[in-house]
Structure 1
Amino acid sequence: MNRNLYIKIAYWYHTLGLTQDEIAKKLSYTRQKVNQIINSLPDLGIVTLNIHGYERDNIELENRLEEQFGLKEVIVAADYGEKDTALYKVANVAAQYLDEIIRLKDIIGVSWGRTLAKVVDQMAYKRRSECRVVQLMGAQNIEQRMEKCDEIARCLANKLDCPSYMLYAPVVVEHAQTKEWLLREKNIISSYELMKKCNIAVLGVGELTEESTMCTRGYITRKDIRLLREQGFVSDLAMNPIRRDGSSDNCFLADRLLNADMECLKKIENTILIASGDEKVEAILAALRSGCADTLIIDEATARQVIKKAQEAEFR
Structure 2
Amino acid sequence: MDELATDHIRLLTKVARMYHERGVRQPQIAQQLHISQPRVSRLLKRAVELGIVRTTVVTPRGVYAELEERIEEEYGLTEVIVADTDDHADENQILRALGAAAAVYLETTLMGGERIGVSSWSATILATVEAMRPRPTRVAEQVVQMLGGVGNVTAQNHATRIAGRLAAVTGAQAVYLPAPGLLASGDMRQMFVSDPNIEPALRACDGLTMALVGVGSIEPSPLLRESGNAFAESELPALREAGAVGDVCVRFFDEKGQHIESTFDDRVLGISAAKLRAVPRRVAVAGGARKSTAIRAALSGGWVNVLITDLQVARSLI
TM-score normalised by the chain length of structure 1: 0.76
Greater Cα offset, 90-99 or 247-256? 247-256
Q: Is the 8 A contact 1:215 1:221 kept in 2?
A: no
RMSD: 2.5
Q: State the partner residue of 2:39.
A: none
Q: Does 1:190 align with 2:196?
A: no
Q: Does 1:117 align with 2:126?
A: yes
Q: State the partner residue of 1:31.
A: none
The percent identity for this pair of structures is 28
The 3 A distance-change label for structure 1 pair 282 and 63 is: same
The 3 A distance-change label for structure 1 pair 99 and 146 is: farther
Q: State the partner residue of 2:96.
A: 88
The 3 A distance-change label for structure 1 pair 305 and 177 is: same
Letter in 1 for 2:112: L
The 3 A distance-change label for structure 1 pair 143 and 295 is: same
Q: State the partner residue of 1:26.
A: none
Inter-partner Cα distance in structure 2 for 1:156 and 1:210: 24
Q: State the partner residue of 1:103.
A: 111
The 3 A distance-change label for structure 1 pair 287 and 191 is: same
2:213 to 184, 197, 203: 203
The 3 A distance-change label for structure 1 pair 168 and 201 is: same
Q: State the partner residue of 2:32.
A: none
Q: Following TM superposition, by how much is the alpha carbon of 1:117 offset from its aligned partner in structure 2, in angstroms?
A: 0.8
1:76 to 55, 74, 82: 82
Q: Which runs of 5+ in 2 are unaligned?
A: 1-44, 46-52
Q: Following TM superposition, by how much is the alpha carbon of 1:148 offset from its aligned partner in structure 2, in angstroms?
A: 2.4
Letter in 2 for 1:136: M
Q: State the partner residue of 1:138.
A: 148
Q: Is the 8 A contact 1:109 1:198 kept in 2?
A: yes
TM-score normalised by the chain length of structure 2: 0.76
SS at match of 2:57: coil
Q: State the partner residue of 1:302.
A: 313
Q: Is the 8 A contact 1:142 1:148 kept in 2?
A: no
Q: How many residues align?
A: 263
Inter-partner Cα distance in structure 2 for 1:64 and 1:130: 31
Inter-partner Cα distance in structure 1 for 2:316 and 2:219: 19
Inter-partner Cα distance in structure 2 for 1:54 and 1:261: 41
Q: Is the 8 A contact 1:117 1:147 kept in 2?
A: no
Inter-partner Cα distance in structure 1 for 2:63 and 2:166: 32
Q: Does 1:62 align with 2:73?
A: no
Q: Which runs of 5+ in 1 are unaligned?
A: 1-38, 40-46, 308-316
Inter-partner Cα distance in structure 1 for 2:170 and 2:103: 12
